[in-house]
Amino acid sequence: MGRAGRQNGEKHLLTSINLDAPPRGYEPAADEPLAGNRSNEVRWKGYYLDDAEFVVIGFGTAGRISLSAVRAAREQGIKVGLLRPITVAPFPTKILDELTEKVEGFLVVEMNAGQMLEDVRLVVRGRKPVEFFGRMGGVVPFPDEVLTEIKRLATEPQTTEVTPVIAGWPACGRP
pLDDT of residue 147: 98
Decide if pLDDT at 39 tops 70: no
Decide if pLDDT at 76 tops 50: yes
**SS percent in the chain: helix, strand, coil, step 5:** 40, 15, 45
Kindly indicate the confidence band of residue 172, based on its pLDDT and cuts at 50, 70 and 90. very low
Decide if pLDDT at 65 tops 90: yes
pTM for this predicted structure: 0.73
Is residue 65 a contact partner of residue 141, using CB atoms and an 8 Å limit? yes
Give CA torsion, residues 52, 55, 56, 57, to 10 deg: 130
Task: Tell me what percent of the residues of the chain surpass a pLDDT of 90.
Answer: 57
**Using the 8-state DSSP alphabet, how is residue 31 labeled?**
G
pLDDT of residue 40: 74
Kindly indicate the confidence band of residue 145, based on its pLDDT and cuts at 50, 70 and 90. very high
pLDDT of residue 170: 44
How many residues in the chain? 175
For the domain with range 43-172, which CATH number is right: 3.40.50.300, 3.40.50.920, 3.40.1410.10, 3.30.300.30?
A: 3.40.50.920
**Taking the CA atoms of the chain, what radius of gyration do you get in angstroms?**
21
